[in-house]
Chain A
Amino acid sequence: MSPADTTASRQLLPALPLAALFFAAFVLPLTALVLVSLFRDPQFSDLSLVQYVRFLSDPFSLKVLSDTLWLGAEVALATLVLAYPLALVYVASGQFMRTLITFLIMLPLLTSTVVRTFAWIVILGRDGIVNSAMLSLGFWQAPARLLYTWEGMVLALTQIQLPLMALPVINSLLRLDGNLTRAAEGLGASRARIFITIVLPLTLPGAIAGWLLVFAAAATAFITQTLVGGGRIILMPSYIYQQAVGVQDWPFAAALSLIFTLAVTGIVFAVGALSRRFVRGVDAA
């Protein structure tokens, strides 16, 4: 080793304690997770791939996985529709409005998930805001069931995850060269046309980044899924919890966790790679 190498490696010394912690409390557990998923039964008697076969041949399990991924996709799309106008207004506004929007975005980001979810129980519940408003205005004759439905869950998750979409979209729009839109305006394009042909394509990388963040967050949002979705909608996080803690079938729970992890991270990496390959925008560098 040359002296330069030793100095360079010595710079890394402060990272060693954390590396040790991560080996013991991150790498080791994940290795254990993979190992446990390879056992035939909860008694750890025999190695096999039976847990994975069990998952792939069971229509119920496959449905749970596809529902979960679909939920993530749907929520991410809904936040995208809300985030763009918000970001457009942010970019076009003065300091006061910008500070206000930043504050509104930070507020849910920093309030506890249980609290945010609880708010949606108050909004959607039998005596909740939506029901009391609709009943007193005479639109509905009887309280509607809004809590413990798929739509209610999508709505709640959309609000809860909106900040994750708004931040990258705003960042993208801020980096957009204003001369492009001004040129289009000068040449007589309508604002809608400018948005469709210039703003949207160029800020797509930010939108995709946000979409992936929200997708992963919504698909794994155990608390909101169980409390707003209710016990009858079974999604991967609650399925894993039920198999691990309820049934105590650790090998199957471990296999479920790995399949879920691979599905979510696989989609995130694939979409990320495809967008880097095919989408050119302001964040491409």
Chain B
Amino acid sequence: MQRSLVDRVYSAVVGTITGFGMLLLLAPTLIVLVISFTGGITLKFPPPSWSLRWYLELLRSQEIMEPALTSLKIAAAATILSAVLGGAAALGLARSRLKIARILDALFMSPMVLPAMAFGLSLLLVFNLLGIRLSAATLVLGHTVICVPFVIRMVGASVQQLNPVLITCSLSLGASRWYTFRRITLPLIRRGIVASCFVAFLTSFDNVPVSLFLADARTEVLPIKLWAILEGSLDVRVAAVSGVIVLVTLAGLVCAEIFGGISRQIGNR
């Protein structure tokens, strides 16, 4: 009798906290979506009326659309660079037993451990000391470094799962190294590459600590712009931007799930 009471209390506590936790995970995203359709001029919740005015306002706001476009371009460039360089490195490192390979692996993973603010500041200092003007290119460079660890881990995991016999077979049957890479290796690690590109793109698009130090007056990126707007006032246009970001991310997640099995990849990370 006493035991079942203890069990019931325990289940109630676990159930309640779980319910609260699930609500906590979901609510903010929903709230952002709801408030973005407000017809009012403040962030009052629930919205007094409904409209698409802030989305229309957004289309007319040059000072938000331009940073958004810049962010997309920089994220695309950083994704391509980190996927190509990181993917190649992951292929080289995954099978090597040399000590230097493990050192390089640790080096490529270290941007994940280092507080990104320190890295952002260090890039600002070195560009200044070397007299390199800040530009979109310097920003891409910084973003590439912070995206690389995801590529190394995810592509590395795919390479580990690849059966080396397949490659030996292909080579011994007379295929060239390039042909083997194109027809055997690449298709087998495709999931890892797609998943890491997805995560790298989001990482760059969302990055603040590095952009904060490296964005010059002409290359303003979206998260920094939004941060600056919210520091000054509680602008409802940010809700509309957020709504767009949430919907596009969800669409991207569905695509990445279809082509790369992203949820499994992230679980493995």
Contacts and interface: CB of A to CB of B under 8 A. Distances in A.
The yes or no verdict on A and B being binding partners is yes
Interface of A: 8-9, 11-15, 17-19, 21-22, 25-30, 32-33, 36, 81-86, 88-89, 100-102, 104-123, 125, 127-129, 132, 158-159, 162-163, 167, 171, 188, 190-193, 195, 216, 219-220, 222-223, 226-227, 236-237, 240-241, 244-245, 250, 253-254, 257-258, 260-261, 264-265, 268
Contact of A132 (B9, B44, B234): B44
Contacts of A244: 121, 124, 213
Interface in B121-179: 121-126, 129, 141-142, 144-145, 148
B188 interface: no
A158 B10 CA distance: 23
B143 to A, nearest CB: 10
Contact of A106 (B46, B119, B253): B253
Contact of A28 (B111, B126, B148): B126
A261 B13 CA distance: 38
Interface of B: 3, 6-7, 9-11, 13-18, 20-22, 24-29, 31-32, 35, 42-46, 85-86, 88-89, 91-93, 95-98, 100-101, 104, 107-108, 110-111, 113-119, 121-126, 129, 141-142, 144-145, 148, 202, 205-206, 208-209, 212-213, 223, 226-227, 230-231, 234, 238-239, 242, 245-246, 249, 253, 263, 266-267
Q: By DSSP majority rule, is chain B's interface helix, strand, loop, or mixed?
A: helix
B25 A89 contact: no
B168 to A, nearest CB: 13
Given A81-B17, A85-B13, A114-B226, A14 B142 contact: no
A25 B267 contact: no
Looking at B20, B122, B245, the one whose CB has the most chain A CB atoms below 10 A away is B122
Given A89-B15, A250-B125, A260 B118 contact: yes
Contacts of A240: 117-118, 121
B206 A88 contact: no
A14 B123 contact: no
21 contacts: A11-B96, A14-B92, A15-B89, A21-B141, A25-B144, A30-B119, A88-B14, A89-B18, A104-B26, A107-B26, A110-B249, A112-B249, A113-B206, A119-B31, A123-B28, A127-B42, A129-B31, A190-B10, A241-B117, A241-B212, A261-B115
The 3 closest A-B pairs by CB, nearest first: A119-B28, A14-B92, A33-B122
B32 A112 contact: no
A22 B238 CA distance: 35
A118 B115 contact: no
A12 B96 contact: yes
A15 B117 contact: no
A33 B21 contact: no
Contacts of B10: 190-192, 195
Contacts of B213: 244-245
B88 to A, nearest CB: 4
A227 B206 CA distance: 16
A119 B32 contact: yes
Nearest to B244: A115
Contacts of B230: 114, 117-118, 121, 227
B43 to A, nearest CB: 5
Contacts of B95: 11
A179 B157 CA distance: 30
A33 B42 CA distance: 43
Contact of A83 (B21, B122, B234): B21
B118 A257 contact: yes
A17 B45 CA distance: 52
Given A102-B263, A258-B118, A26 B111 contact: yes
Contact of B85 (A18, A86, A226): A18
Given A190-B3, A226-B227, 20 more contacts: A12-B100, A15-B92, A17-B88, A18-B88, A21-B85, A29-B123, A33-B118, A33-B121, A107-B29, A108-B25, A114-B242, A115-B246, A120-B28, A121-B43, A123-B31, A162-B21, A220-B115, A227-B230, A240-B118, A265-B113
B121 A25 contact: no
Nearest to B30: A119
A118 B144 contact: no
Contacts of A18: 85-86, 88-89, 108, 148
B115 A108 contact: no
A14 B101 contact: no
Given A82-B21, A115-B242, A119-B32, A22 B107 contact: yes
A15 B24 contact: no
Contacts of A21: 85, 141, 144-145
Contacts of B234: 121, 125
B21 A86 contact: yes
